[in-house]
């Protein structure tokens, strides 16, 4: 199985980071609709469950990495009173759609979205009480570098929540989901997103991603403590938590 950094959307010489940015810039107009269609709307429940993990620590500030169209940032403001959210993403098109949603919901005073790279965060050490990343880390060029940067900007005892696809392990759901993910989803994705590669890349990047215990071990290696994980919907995705 190739390393995550080797799994890239397009067959070009450009870096994974450049290819991922190009891909999300291209699919941004259809991203939200495709999420709802391809997951039958269950993705909204996964994001809700991820934010629930933050509620006990009652953070005042949250950095949402790879914020995309700001679904996690918006959900966090719904669940946590008075929260100030910074959402960062490398794709300016995803940020543009996110800003429209933030404005529509009147959340401009609570959510600020910025274009930036998770592997070189433009923030001081210990800047945020909490940190989220939803369906983002799989796309990083250098996973450990991104996680190390995330830990750097998190305050002491600050909470980390990661939501990411994982590979179901239970028979026969494992086999059924694998068939859907490998063969059906790329076809719907290709038609709706108009990018023939984006949803093949989704499948390939999930296959190469170190899920469950493997990510837990990496989180510990970069210095996170109290790490735990809980799979969602028979392992389609998993919520990983830890603190600094
Ligand atoms: C699948 S989307 C997830 C968006 C959102 N978090 C959600 O839950 O819907 C992945 C996002 O990660 C962003 N991304 C990928 N690599 C990144 C990086 N190095 N730095 C910042 N954002 C990145 C992409 O631009 C894209 O918007």
- Whether 118 is in the pocket of ligand 1, judged by its Cβ within 6 Å, is yes
Ligand 1 within 6 A of CB of 164: no
Q: Tell me the best of 37, 66, 144, 237 to mutate to test the pocket of ligand 1, counting ligand atoms within 8 Å of each CB and taking the most.
A: 66
Residue-level pLDDT, tens digit, the chain, 244 residues: 556 777 787 777 788 899 899 999 999 999 999 889 888 899 999 999 999 999 999 999 999 999 999 999 999 999 999 999 999 999 999 999 999 999 999 999 999 999 999 999 999 999 999 999 999 999 999 999 999 999 999 999 999 999 999 999 999 999 999 999 899 988 888 888 788 788 888 899 999 999 999 999 999 999 999 999 999 999 999 999 999 9
Reported residue count of the chain is 244
Task: Give the nearest ligand 1 atom to 163 CA.
Answer: 8
Separation CA 55–CA 80 (nearest Å): 6
Residue with tokens 């300016």: 92
Show the beta-strand stretches assigned E in the chain. Answer: 61-65, 84-89, 111-115, 128-134, 154-165, 225-232, 237-243
On whether the pTM is more than 0.85, the answer is yes
**What domains are there in the chain, each with its CATH number?**
4-243 (3.40.50.150)
Mutation pick for ligand 1 pocket among 101, 122, 139 (CB with most ligand atoms within 8 Å): 139
Which is the closest atom of ligand 1 to the Cα of 133?
6
Instruction: Supply 153's token pair.
Output: 């900007």
């Amino acid at each position: 199985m190739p390393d995550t950094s080797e799994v890239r959307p397009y067959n070009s010489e450009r870096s994974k980071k450049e290819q991922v940015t190009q891909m999300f810039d291209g699919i941004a107009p259809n991203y939200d609709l495709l999420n709802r269609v391809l997951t039958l709307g269950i993705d909204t429940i996964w994001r809700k469950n991820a934010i629930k993990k933050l509620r006990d620590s009652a953070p005042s500030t949250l950095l949402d990495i790879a914020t995309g169209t700001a679904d996690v940032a918006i959900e966090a403001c719904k669940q946590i009173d008075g929260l100030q959210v910074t959402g960062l993403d490398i794709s300016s098109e995803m940020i543009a759609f996110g800003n429209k949603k933030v404005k529509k919901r009147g959340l401009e005073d609570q959510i600020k979205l910025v274009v930036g790279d998770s592997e070189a965060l433009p923030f001081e050490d210990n800047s945020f009480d909490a940190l989220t990343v939803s369906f983002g880390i799989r796309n990083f060029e250098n996973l450990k570098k991104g996680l190390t940067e995330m830990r750097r900007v998190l305050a002491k005892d600050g909470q980390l929540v990661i939501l990411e696809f994982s590979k179901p392990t239970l028979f026969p759901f494992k086999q059924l989901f694998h068939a859907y993910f490998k063969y059906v989803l790329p076809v719907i994705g290709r038609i709706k997103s108009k990018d023939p590669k984006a949803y093949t890349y989704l499948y390939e990047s999930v296959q190469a991603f170190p899920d469950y215990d493997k990510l837990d071990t990496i989180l510990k290696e970069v210095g996170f403590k109290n790490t735990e994980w809980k799979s969602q919907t028979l392992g389609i995705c998993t919520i990983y938590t830890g603190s600094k």
